[in-house]
Amino acid sequence: MQDYRKLLVWQKAHKLAILAYELPEYLKRPECWALRDQILGATISIPSNIAEGAGRSSNADFSRFLWYSVGSCNEFESDLLLARDVRFIADPIFTDLGDRVAEVRRMLTSLIQTLD
């Protein structure tokens, strides 16, 4: 068991979730609400699974929760693509958040390889 707050990947995932909470400014129209909720749920799940996994007693359990975080990265990225393609968010926001989630996914994959 380790302190998840000391993990750089958790710190970056946490920051990504904070940035996602700034998106609703762009997604305040009622037709955007479902996608907004989906984006927030996926993004919150990334650091949450890292934290939950870090509290487990084995590397195998930790690795399993990190894989859940990878899945949530993919979900968030897919949601961002949809938000951009239906013009709910601007290209610069999509690019910034897309780059950040890609970095978190790479870090998760690297950490998983270290644990296995």
Per-residue pLDDT of the chain (116 residues; tens, 9 = 90+): 689 999 999 999 999 999 999 887 778 888 889 999 999 999 999 999 999 999 998 999 999 999 999 999 999 999 999 999 999 999 999 999 999 999 999 999 999 999 98
Task: State the CATH number of the domain containing residue 65.
Answer: 1.20.1440.60
Whether the full predicted model's pTM is greater than 0.85, yes or no, is: yes
Domain count, the chain: 1
Nearest to 13 by CA among 39, 37, 49: 49
Q: Which domain range does residue 102 map to? A: 4-115
Q: Return the number of other C-beta atoms located less than 10 Å from residue 3's C-beta.
A: 10
Tokens 């970095």 locate to: 103
Return the structure tokens found at 26: 């762009």
